[in-house]
Amino acid sequence: MANDNKPRLDAERKWRYMIPVSHQFYIYGRKAAEEIMGPDAVDRFIRRFWELTGEDTARMYVELGKLQPEDLAGLVKSIARSSEIMGEDAEARAEGDRAYLLHHHCPWPENYRRFDLPETCQGGCDTWFQTIAARLSPRIRVKTTTAIPAGDDACVREFWIEE
């Protein structure tokens, strides 16, 4: 029987609680994989994890978001929005024929440090973004110019179309 007097959490508040939980799921899954598979195999496992994530993200951007394959500004806006949903402080910028994704704050580097994991979030993000870009168009390129895990104030990725 439901208790109608019980206070209810709204969807956004529930999601804010789930963001760190989802990070911990990833961290624990990664640690378990290393225990079972060893460090070399876990590196391949993690890379494939981010590739699969990127493949499905690209599919959703096209199918659900109606993103056109070489719409750089739309792509970077979509990624920034996804990042915001995941609790990150992200911004999309377009300048001429380039688009930039800026992450001003991200909880992932601290999670990696707190759980004493050898990799940083940059490798996962780089693989994720490069896979998304490649799935949308083989001509889209992505380059990380600064990274929070490297000690920079922000993660900045530059996107462009290779002619």
160 vs 141: CA distance, rounded Å: 5
Is 64:50 a contact under the CB 8 Å cutoff?
no
Q: Give the structural domain span for 68.
A: 12-161
Q: Report yes or no on 22 lying in a domain.
A: yes
Which value, in Å, is the radius of gyration of the alpha carbons in the chain? 17
Residue 4 placed within a domain = no
Please report whether residue 101 resides in a domain.
yes
- Calculate what percentage of the chain has a pLDDT beyond 70: 94
1 within domain boundaries: no
Six token digits for residue 46: 């993690």
pLDDT-derived band at 118, boundaries 50, 70, 90: low
pLDDT tens digits, 18-56: 888 888 899 999 989 999 999 889 989 999 999 999 999
Tokens of 3: 């208790």
Mean pLDDT of the chain: 91
- What gap in Å lies between CA 66 and CA 43, rounded to an integer? 33
In a domain, 154, yes or no: yes
pLDDT exceeds 90 at position 77? yes
Residue 5 pLDDT > 90: no
Q: The dihedral of CA 127, 131, 134, 140: what is its sign?
A: negative
Instruction: Find the DSSP H helices in the chain.
Output: 11-37, 39-63, 72-85, 108-114, 121-136
Residue 59 within any structural domain of the chain = yes
Give the pLDDT score at 12. 82
Instruction: Kindly tell me if the per-residue pLDDT of 100 is higher than 80.
Output: yes
Residue 7 placed within a domain: no
pLDDT at 8 over 80: no
Band the pLDDT of 104: cuts 50, 70, 90: very high
CATH code assigned at 42: 3.30.1380.20
pLDDT of residue 66: 95
Supply 150's token pair. Answer: 């490297």
Phi, psi of 40 (to 5 degrees): -70, -45
Asked whether residue 5 is domain-assigned, the answer is no
Q: What is the pLDDT of residue 145?
A: 97
Q: CA 66, 68, 69, 71: dihedral to nearest 10 degrees? A: -130
Q: Any idea of the CA torsion for 48, 59, 133, 117, to the nearest 10 degrees? A: -30
Percent of the chain with pLDDT over 90: 65
pLDDT value for 6: 64
If one counts the domains in the chain, the total is: 1
